[in-house]
Amino acid sequence: MSIPLYQKIYDDILEGLKSGKLAPGDKVMSEKELAHEYGVSRITSKKALEMLASDGYIKRMPGRGSFVQFAPGSSAKGSGRRWKIGVVMDSINDVFGSGILSTIEKLAEDNGFFVVLRIAYGRRDMEESAIQALLDFGVDGMILMTSHSEDINPLLLQLVIDKVPIVLVDRYLRGIPAPFVGTNNYASTAMATDYILELGHRHISFLTRPFKSTTTIQNRLDGFIKSHAEHGVAIEESKWVTDISSIVQGGCSPENIEADVEKICTMLRKNPDVTCLFAAEYNITSLAVKAVRRLGISVPEDISIICFDGPSDFTGESFFTRIVQPEEKIGRKAVQILIDELCGKTGHTNEKQFFMGDLVIGKSTCPPKEPSGK
C-alpha cells in the first residue's frame, strides 16, 4: 500500500534533518517549490509543511517561508533529548534582571530547551560554584551575568578554553573572547546627560559606587563626561560622590546606609549650587532621596534626580526620570547567539552587541531655579 504523497514529502524533509543535509536555521523549500519538485498540488505540499511545523521540526514564518527549528526542538521530537541551558545571574529584581530572565525563559519554552537558573548574589565564590554546579549538571551552554568586578573569574577563561558555548550579558569583560550582549552604557548616559544639560543644569553631582571596580559604571561615567565636553560645560569632580558602599554586596548594613546618606548630605551642604543628582544605579537613588529629605530639599523644585533603571507602578509610570535598559532585546539576542553556538555556527565568537537604553521622562527633573537675586 503506497503512502500518501504528503507523507513522502514529510519523510524526505525529516530524513534531511536527521542526515544533516538540512541544518537548524536553513530555509525549507516553499509550498510552490515542493509542489513542483514532487509533482503534487500545493494543498499536498502545504499539508506536509504543516505536519512538520506541528511536530516541532520547522517553523513557518508568514511572508518569509519555513525554517528548520534549531537542534534542541527537533531533538526533543526526534530522540526525546532536550538541551539544557544554564543561566547565572549576579542578581535579579524588579529594577533590573527580571526582564532578561523572563525573555530567556519564554524563548526556552518556545524552542524546546530547559533553563537551569543559579543566582550568585554578587559574590564571586557563589558565581564560581554556580558555574561549576551547572557544568556538573551537564548543561549544553550558558548565559552569564557576572558580578560587578574588573577581576576576571578564572573559571570563565576555562569555559572559553574548553569551548563551552557561553554568552555574557550586561557586564562587559575585557579579555574574554566570548560573545557579549548588553546596554550601551556610554551612549545611554551621554543621552541622559544631554537632556539634563539642555534643561539648563550646570552643576551636576555624579553618585556611584567605586567606579574603577566595574566597566559598566566606568562607561556610564565616561558618557557623563562626554556630554559635558560636547556642551562646553566643565565637569566638577569635587561635587561627585564616588564611594557609595552600601549598595555593594555585603555592604548593606544600617551603618553603611547612614554613612552613604551622610556623604551625600555633606556634599550638598558644601555645594549648595548643585541642582541635579545623577545616580549611576537605582539603589543609589534611594540614598539620594533620604539625603535631600534630611536637608529639607524638594524634588524636583529644588534639585532634580535622574538615574538608571527603576520600577514602574502598575500603570507603567515612574516618578524618576531614568534610563530604562532594553532587557527584552538583551535576553532575546543572548538566546539567539547561544542557539547558533550550540548549532555549530561559530561566527559569534567575539560578537559584541550593545543596545541603546530608553530615556523615560518622569517627575523628578525640571529646569533649575533661577539664582537668588535675579
Q: How far apart are CA 223 and CA 210, in angstroms?
A: 16
Q: pLDDT at position 374, please?
A: 42
Q: How far apart are CA 213 and CA 356, in angstroms?
A: 23
Edge-first strand order for the sheet with 180-183 is 114-119, 84-89, 141-144, 166-169, 180-183, 352-355
Q: pLDDT at position 246, please?
A: 93
Asked: is 84-183+326-356 a CATH 3.60.40.10 domain? The reply is no
Beta-bridge mates of residue 142: 86, 166
Q: pLDDT at position 263, please?
A: 97
Domain residue extents for the chain: 5-65, 84-183+326-356, 185-325
Q: pLDDT at position 69, please?
A: 67
The per-residue pLDDT string of the chain (374 residues; one tens digit each, 9 = 90 and over) reads 467 888 899 889 888 877 778 876 678 999 999 999 999 999 899 999 988 887 767 877 777 788 886 443 444 334 344 678 999 998 877 788 889 999 999 888 777 788 999 998 878 888 999 999 998 888 889 999 987 655 667 788 888 888 888 999 988 777 778 899 999 999 999 999 999 999 999 999 999 998 665 688 899 999 999 999 999 999 999 999 999 999 887 778 999 999 999 999 999 999 999 999 999 999 999 999 999 999 999 999 999 999 999 877 666 678 999 999 999 999 999 998 888 777 766 555 678 899 999 999 999 999 998 764 44
Q: How far apart are CA 48 and CA 6, in angstroms?
A: 5
- Burial of residue 370 (CB within 10 Å: 0-12, 13-18, 19+) is exposed
Asked whether the bond before 300 is cis by omega within 30 degrees of 0, the reply is yes
Q: pLDDT at position 151, please?
A: 63
Q: How far apart are CA 159 and CA 176, in angstroms?
A: 10
Residue range 5-65 forms a domain whose CATH class is: mainly alpha
Q: pLDDT at position 323, please?
A: 97
Q: pLDDT at position 162, please?
A: 84
Q: Decide: 216 and 171 in contact? Cβ < 8 Å.
A: yes
The reply to whether domains 84-183+326-356 and 185-325 share a CATH topology is: yes
Which fold does the domain 185-325 belong to in CATH? Rossmann fold (3.40.50)
Q: pLDDT at position 274, please?
A: 98
